Amino acid sequence: MKTPVKTNLFASKAPLEWAIIANGTLSTAQIPIDSQGNVVDGGITAQARQTMENFKHTIEAAELTMNDVTQVLIYVTDRSQLPAFNAVYAEYFQAPYPNRAAMIVAGLAREEMLCEIVAYAAVP
């Protein structure tokens, strides 16, 4: 059985939930959109921050903490964006850090998006 996590994030018209809990795991994907559903301006740092804020909100909406996060997959559209994303990312976690991978991709669902994350957290 899967249970959606209720968040205050923009209600997408796409057939998706911002997070699902099933089998003791929260699964989520987050993008750099604001409460109106617009991709934020300001380059990779602004987009990384919005993505991580959306992520943190989702984790807290599930009554979890960032310490419950077990894995994060980071997608950026250019290798040069990784240092900026890493700087923002580091503000949200403490050791022991989640397992993670970073991928450079040709593009994301919306052309103006520079980053996206997919993440998993343990649900007690």
Between β-strands 3-4 and 19-22, what pairing exists: parallel, antiparallel or unpaired? Answer: antiparallel
The pLDDT value given to residue 99? 98
Contact 123, 24 (CB under 8 A): yes
The amino acid at residue 49 is R
Report the 10 Å Cβ neighbour count for 34: 14
The pLDDT value given to residue 117? 98
The reply to whether CATH 1.20.140.10 applies to domain 18-122 is: no
The pLDDT value given to residue 44? 98
The pLDDT value given to residue 61? 98
Percentages helix, strand, coil for the chain, rounded to the nearest 5?
25, 30, 45
* Six-digit token string for 42: 């300001």
Question: Which portions of the chain are predicted below pLDDT 70?
Answer: none
Kindly give the residue spans of alpha helices, DSSP state H, lying in the chain: 43-61, 82-90
- The structural domains of the chain, with segments of one domain joined by +, span 18-122
The pLDDT value given to residue 43? 98
What is the C-alpha separation between 14 and 45, in angstroms, rounded? 26
The pLDDT value given to residue 18? 97
The pLDDT value given to residue 100? 97
